[in-house]
Structures are given as structure tokens and as C-alpha cells.
Amino acid sequence: MAVLCRTTSQVATTLLALLLSWSSSVNASSMHVAALCRGGTCPDPKFPILDFDQEKGECLCRANPCWDNNGVTHACPDGTGYPFLHFTFSQEKELKCSCSKFPVYDSVHLARDLCPGHSCESEAFPILDFDSKENKCFCRSTPCPQKQCSDSEPIVHYREDSAPGSDAGSPVCECERKQEKPSQALRGVPQKETSSCTWNRQAIE
């Protein structure tokens, strides 16, 4: 189930308010990016975001852009009620970082390239996504409604593996750690923003 996402200049509709009462806290990630990057994973915590590079036409792993927003590192402490780092982009494609109570897995490609100025603030439909057939942005509910994650790995990430003999992907719902910038004391802390994906065997055959 999905609803149209709203731009920052729009107000929530009465229908959306009613839909909020149907769902408890949900979280996950874009199905559009999962399909684009079928078979890809990002196991390195320095580059935890599986995403798509529109200019290069390829999938990659990103560092969270809020870890270095023009020299400013954003963080969301536990115990505040808003412990999850969240980002959007304005219509002018300016990065906006905030703290959210929803553990949603964001995408730079969606938020900046496809849907700048859009946000999803509903607990029932917190995931910004894109419908390539209708060429529109919308807010969706979780594609992993039965997945339960622990406090140590609170973010549900939806991705797809290649399914042998099928053009459709095989859905995978995984739990991931809260996205926090690695300590500068750690060896290999990235000075770059992206890294290569890890691909499963079926995705490259």
C-alpha cells in the first residue's frame, strides 16, 4: 500500500491522517532502488547505503551524506526520542539533515535525483519511493511488515536478490545497525563518499 508523498509546501490530507491509525511503527527502504541494484549489498559500515548513481548508471555503496554536510557531522543521540539520522533534499537539491523517530533507510538517488522537495513524515507511510511506470514519487508502507529487528540492529533494509529463471527479484528483509559515523580513530575511515557494491554470485552470472 502506498500514498502520494507531499512536498514541503503541502499539508497532510485527511485521508493520510486516517491511514496513520492503521499501522504501528514501521520501517524499511525503497523497492525502486532494490530493483535497480538487485543482488547488491553494502556490508562495510563506512559505506552502509546501497544506492544508485544516476550519472554513471551504476549501483554503489554510500557513506551517509549527513556525516559530512559541508564539514558538519550530524548525529542523533539515543534517549532523545529521535535517534535516527534522516536526510531529505530541497527542490533546489540542498541537503537537509534531521533526527527522526522512524528507523528508515534513506536513498540519495531518490531524495535528490528523483524526488527533491518531497518528504514522508507519516508513521504508516515513512518510505520515499518512486514509481517508474507512472513517473511519480510516493510514500509507501514497509515492504517487510513481518520483520522484527533488535535495538542493536533497528533498521529494516529491503533488498532483492536475483531469482534463477525469473525476471523478478527475490525479496530479502534484513536488520541493519543504526547509521553512525565511524570513529576517526578507526583505520580506513573514508575520505571518499562512495565505495563499490558487493554482488552475490547470481547477480553477476
Burial of 56 (0-12, 13-18, 19+ CB in 10 A): exposed
Q: What pLDDT, in 10s, does the model give residues 107-161?
A: 999 999 999 999 998 889 999 999 999 999 999 999 999 999 999 999 999 999 9
| Amino acid at position 63, single letter | A
Positive or negative: CA dihedral 183, 187, 191, 195: negative
Of 20 and 203, more confident: 203
Nearest to 137 by CA among 17, 61, 33, 28: 33
**CA angle at 99 for the pair 94 and 100, rounded to the nearest 5°:** 110
Question: What is the mean pLDDT of the segment spanning 81-108?
Answer: 95
Q: What is the CA radius of gyration of the chain?
A: 17
Q: Is 109 helix (H, G, I), strand (E, B) or coil?
A: helix
Q: Is 138 helix (H, G, I), strand (E, B) or coil?
A: strand
Of 146 and 3, more confident: 146
User: How many angstroms from the chain centroid is the CA of residue 168?
Assistant: 21
Pair 33, 107: CB distance under 8 Å = yes
